[in-house]
Amino acid sequence: MAAIDEQDYTKSFDWKIWKRLFPIFRTYRVAFVMLLVFNALTALVDVGLPLLQRYAIANFIEKDTLTGIVPYALVYLVVILLQALSVVLFARNSMSIEMNAGRDLRRTLFTHLQTLSFSFYNVTPVGYLLSRVMSDTNRIASMIAWNLTDILWAMFYVFGTFAAMLILNWRLALVVILIVPVIAVLTWYFQNRILHWNRKVRKLNSKITGAFNEGITGAKTSKTLVIEDQNTASFRELTESMRVAGVRAARLNAVYIPLVLFCSTMAVAIVLLRGGHMVLDQVLEIATLSTFTTYAVGIFEPIQMTAANIAEFISLQASIERVTGLMDEVPQVQDTPEVLEKYGDVFSPKRENWEPLKGDIEFRDVTFRYPDGGENVLEHFSLKIPAGTTVAIVGETGAGKSTLVNLACRFFEPTAGQILIDGRDYRERSQLWLHENIGYVLQSPHLFSGSVRENIRYGRLDATDAEVEAAAKAVSADTVVAKLEHGWDSQVGEGGDKLSTGEKQLISFARAVLADPRIFVLDEATSSIDTQTEQLIQNAIDHLLQDRTSFLIAHRLSTIRKADLILVVRDGKIVEQGTHQELLRQHGYYHDLYSKQFAEENAAKILK
Whole-number Cα distances in Å, 209 to 31, 204, 212, 214: 34, 9, 5, 9
| Mean pLDDT, residues 305-311 taken together | 75
| Mean pLDDT, residues 216-236 taken together | 70
pLDDT in tens, 515-557: 888 998 888 756 555 666 666 667 667 766 778 899 988 777 7
Of residues 28 and 229, the one with the higher pLDDT is: 28
- In a 3-state reduction of DSSP, which class is residue 363? strand
Asked whether residue 453 carries a pLDDT value surpassing 90, the answer given is: yes
Contact between 375 and 369 under an 8 Å Cβ cutoff? The reply is yes
| Mean pLDDT, residues 113-134 taken together | 82
Residue 268 CA, distance from chain mean position:
48
Asked whether residue 4 carries a pLDDT value surpassing 50, the answer given is: no
Task: Give pTM, 2 decimals.
Answer: 0.71
pLDDT recorded at residue 273: 85
Pairing of the two strands 573-578 and 390-394: unpaired
| Mean pLDDT, residues 351-357 taken together | 93
Asked whether residue 558 carries a pLDDT value surpassing 50, the answer given is: yes
Whole-number Cα distances in Å, 512 to 373, 380, 436: 32, 32, 11
pLDDT in tens, 86-123: 999 989 999 999 999 999 999 999 999 988 887 788 77
**Interior angle at CA 510, CA 508 and CA 513, nearest 5:** 115
**Interior angle at CA 181, CA 309 and CA 262, nearest 5:** 65
pLDDT in tens, 282-302: 888 888 888 888 888 788 778
Asked whether residue 415 carries a pLDDT value surpassing 80, the answer given is: yes
Range 94-112 burial, b when 16+ CB lie within 10 A, else e: bebbbebbbebbbebbeee
**Interior angle at CA 376, CA 375 and CA 381, nearest 5:** 165
pLDDT in tens, 463-508: 999 999 999 988 888 888 999 989 999 999 888 888 887 788 888 8
pLDDT recorded at residue 8: 46
pLDDT recorded at residue 606: 60
Residue in 129, 105, 103, 104 with CA at minimum distance from that of residue 116: 129
The per-residue pLDDT of the chain, averaged, comes to 84
Asked whether residue 200 carries a pLDDT value surpassing 90, the answer given is: no
Rounded Cα distance between 406 and 181, Å, is 61
Helix (H) / strand (E) containing 523: strand 519-523
| Mean pLDDT, residues 352-377 taken together | 88
| Structure confidence at residue 252 as a pLDDT band (50, 70, 90) | confident
pLDDT recorded at residue 595: 87
Helix (H) / strand (E) containing 375: none
Rounded Cα distance between 549 and 438, Å, is 10
Q: Give the burial class of 260: count Cβ atoms within 10 A of its Cβ; 0-12 exposed, 13-18 middle, 19 or more buried.
A: buried
Asked whether residue 603 carries a pLDDT value surpassing 70, the answer given is: no
